[in-house]
Amino acid sequence: MTKFIKGNEAVVIGALYAGADVYFGYPITPASEIAHAAADWFPALGREFLQAECETASINMMFGAAAAGKLAITATSGPGMSLMQEGLSYMAGAELPGVIVNIMRAGPGLGNVYPEQADYNQAVKGGGHGNYQCVVLAPASIQEMCDFTQRAFALSCKYRTPAIVLSDGLLGQMMENLILPQSIMPRPDLQAWAVAGTAETRKNLVSSIFLNAPEQELHNQRLQAKYDSMRPDAAHETYLCEDAEVVLVCYGISSRIARTAAETLRSEGVKAGVFRPITLNPFPAEALCKTLVGRKALAVELSCGQFRDDLLMHLAKEGKRYQEVALVNHMGGIVMSVEEIVAAAKKLR
Amino acid sequence: MITKQTLGMYKVFTRGGDATRATHYCAGCGHGIINKLISEALAEMGLQDKAIMVGPVGCGVFGYYYWDCGNISAAHGRAHAVATGVNRVLHDSVVLSYQGDGDLGAIGFNNAFQAASRGEHFAAFFVNNATYGMTGGQMAPTTLLGMETLTSPLGRSAQHDGYPLHVCEVFNQLAGPVYIERVSVADSTRILKAKKAIRKAIEIQRDKKGYAFVEIIAPCPTNMAIDAIKSAEFCMTVMEKEFPLHCFRDKSAEALPREEAPTPPDINTFFAADQTLDVPAALTDDSFGEVRLKFSGFGGQGILSLGHLVADAARLERRFTSWFPTYGPEQRGGAAACSVVISGKPIGSPSVDTPDVLVCMNQPSYEKFVGSVVPGGTVIVDATVTRTIEPPAGVKLVVMPAIDLSTQLGMPKAANTLMLAALSKYGVSRLKRESLLTIMANNFRKKPAFAEKNLALFEAGEKSVANT
């Protein structure tokens, strides 16, 4: 079955086919269509939808539903995402699954409602207090808005940590053809730790408190080992990289524009390719290092260089080497043009 | 010496790290009594398996050391939001929340207020001891006027710190709650009344009747720096003047139990039934290349739906296609525009900055976009637009009297259908006429009269193009 729908709506279809039990959310442009579609479709399919009083409430309702062993999703944009950091830290600390969709808009502060990718560090580096990580997936099409929402649920349950679908206003608002999933994903068994109001789960406790410092350290060490174990799920995609002299490194909507730029560059005699991380955490660092050997690199992003700086860190840490990574970017809600990427890539030769 | 095992509590408290039979509460504290009243009520009603307690941050944080039921530890102030999350997904459980005055009355007040207003299905126990106990005795929203605390060292001043917050009285303004009562655990008579109130709140959950709120006045001798007896006396003589013990509301007899939703349809059946066109996925066709279109005009002219129709028709022809609108305040401000890409391969950038085809229905958008059309491209502009700027060299200009003609034919809001006719007649979208008409018919499937009228308008538009 196919549908011509908005990215924001595709998220809800992904969530429903992932078996999501409940949607909690607070309206915010440019993410509101997710709440609209969820308000229509969740109750119609016997799932729960609730508009929360604020994003702090949304994420704590997520905490409650997840603690009860149910699959919960919420969606928001920058200002709301900032409010959710408290709950994300608690969910990570208590090892609860759940999916948070961030349809990024320009900031800081109120900013505006146009696409930016400036919540990169917030998503990838934890964002709230304490040593924790979320799984972060970066879709680049309407199909992936649906598919990655499903994958986010699977990874979130597998690693018992929140998963963020990091998207932006352009992907949220645009429409493309979506091929719907064929069936609902198998339900993970969460009863071993959930507090589900049953005799079997009566003994369970969901908490992020370790009053004793050595126990808290042990918990942290265990969390870090868990995050390290996520690496096999790192995913990426390359386009025209085999013989490339310049590699455009980018995620999400930027990678769509870079794709066109790589084709344009090739038509103008520059062998360009695209390296696109699909998971921003775990990051496909090994693949990035291999792809960039002997090639010029250009980061393409809708933020100040947060992503480029992270690439430098990954290259240094994984490749044990320093490599220049140039930057072409926009901030403030302006999407870079193909021509700007082409010009920046040509400068590297 | 333990004379009697407390019903509903673990026999030995191991969650704190040491195997102990003593609670962490100070001597004379009200929490221990309240913890016990709740656990006894759950045990007596046989609800421990079903019960889920959502705990606070504050002195009550370690309730899960003691309560032999499911336990969830919430963030500071968030127990009402967390309990909302639980009760919304577990309709057969008995959900309880337990919060102190700082947790519920200050940082979490809106979460509590809104949950109460929604009439969530859980019992909320609110312990009011007029101070922040766990953090060492700071001013709480319920601290009495004149009371000295670490953060009101000269005594709470109305002018500077405002007045004590009466949560029951505030919640009593809401339609949501089924039951609201303020009780005290300062002496044995009061404890018996508190026990009844706690039990009632839990019965309301057992019977699935809705939100129950019990405020419990409790002594805190440590932070009041007085002994247990004086602290209890303070509760009875001073606190009760500010916070009178009272049953504010009890609708438990007439409240109806929560209704369960009917069995939902199968998900595939549900999505197949919404009548958007189900067409096979796009096919790669290198010979097609790419057509990039921009549609622009005022909001209300049907610009976005015109672009949507064209993109949807491309889908019907198994092309890759994307539609991207202006959104946010720009759209509400009156200007509407959208980008449509039709391609023989997966689409890169969905944003059209340099269109092959520009469809323009108002002056500002013509002036804004006409210079961006690529050589060999086409501009289709409504005849009402004064063309102060000429299109770039090599760009074909089509002037379509869409607004005038649609008005003349009695369908002023359907000028976009005439622009579609021009787009079709000139073949610039490279889509078949029948594809466009199929989508148009499907869009009007619920209004057959409109479908016919728009088809007639489309045909009139085609004739108008043929005559120019």
What are the boundaries of each domain within chain A? 2-231, 235-347
Q: Helices B415-426 & B433-443, crossing angle to 10 degrees?
A: 160
Any chain B CB within 8 A of the CB of A284?
no
Any chain A CB within 8 A of the CB of B106?
no
Tokens 């200009």 -> residue: B397
* φ, ψ (nearest 5 deg) of residue B88: -75, -25
Q: So what's the pLDDT on residue B277?
A: 75
Q: So what's the pLDDT on residue B299?
A: 87
| In the predicted structure, residue B2 carries a pLDDT above the cut 60 | no
Q: In what order do the strands lie in the sheet with B396-400?
A: A2-6, A175-179, B320-325, B335-343, B290-298, B357-360, B378-382, B396-400
Mean pLDDT of chain A: 97
Residue B327: which pLDDT band, with cuts at 50, 70 and 90?
Answer: confident
**Contact assignment for B52 to A68 by CB distance below 8 Å:** yes
Closest Cα of chain B to A254: distance in Å?
8
Closest Cα of chain B to A292: distance in Å?
22
Among the listed residues B247, B190, B143, B246, the one whose alpha carbon sits nearest the alpha carbon of residue B30? B190
Fold of A2-231: Rossmann fold (3.40.50)
Any chain A CB within 8 A of the CB of B134?
no
Q: So what's the pLDDT on residue B328?
A: 66
Which residue is closest to A29 within chain B, CA to CA? B328
Tokens at residue A10, please?
């595709």
Secondary structure class of B347 (helix, strand, coil): coil
- What residues pair up with A73 in beta bridges, in sequence order? A23, A99
Q: Are B68 and B8 in contact (CB under 8 A)?
A: yes
Using only C-alpha atoms, chain B has a radius of gyration, in whole angstroms, of 35
Q: Helices A253-267 & A338-347, crossing angle to 10 degrees?
A: 60
Secondary structure class of B229 (helix, strand, coil): helix
Tell me how far apart the alpha carbons of residues B128 and B146 are, in angstroms, rounded to a whole number. 17
Q: Are B78 and B61 in contact (CB under 8 A)?
A: no
Tell me how far apart the alpha carbons of residues B219 and B240 are, in angstroms, rounded to a whole number. 12
Q: Are A155 and A92 in contact (CB under 8 A)?
A: no
Tell me how far apart the alpha carbons of residues A170 and A103 are, in angstroms, rounded to a whole number. 9
Q: So what's the pLDDT on residue A180?
A: 96
Q: So what's the pLDDT on residue B28?
A: 95
Fold of A235-347: Rossmann fold (3.40.50)
Residue B93: which pLDDT band, with cuts at 50, 70 and 90?
Answer: very high
pLDDT tens digits, B330-351 = 555 578 999 999 999 999 989 9
Q: So what's the pLDDT on residue B330?
A: 59
Measured between CB atoms, which of A70, A169, A261 is closest to B89? A70
In this prediction, the residues of chain A whose per-residue pLDDT falls under 50 are none
- How do B138-139 and B123-128 pair as beta strands? unpaired
Q: So what's the pLDDT on residue B466?
A: 81
The domains spanning A2-231 and A235-347 adopt the same CATH topology: yes
Mean pLDDT of chain B: 95
Closest Cα of chain A to B154: distance in Å?
33
Q: So what's the pLDDT on residue A23?
A: 98
Tell me how far apart the alpha carbons of residues B112 and B120 are, in angstroms, rounded to a whole number. 10
Q: So what's the pLDDT on residue B334?
A: 73
**Contact assignment for B114 to A57 by CB distance below 8 Å:** yes
Tell me how far apart the alpha carbons of residues B131 and A345 are, in angstroms, rounded to a whole number. 63
Q: Are A140 and B347 in contact (CB under 8 A)?
A: no
pLDDT tens digits, B20-77 = 989 999 999 999 999 999 999 999 999 999 999 999 999 999 999 999 999 999 999 9
Q: Following DSSP, what letter does each residue of B380-449 receive, concatenated?
A: EEETTS--SSPPPTT-EEEEE-HHHHHHHTT-GGGHHHHHHHHHHHHTTT---HHHHHHHHHHHTTT-HH
What chain B holds in terms of domains, given with CATH numbers, is: 31-250 (3.40.50.970), 282-467 (3.40.920.10)
Q: Where are the alpha helices (DSSP H) in B273-360?
A: 303-316, 329-332
Residue B3: which pLDDT band, with cuts at 50, 70 and 90?
Answer: low
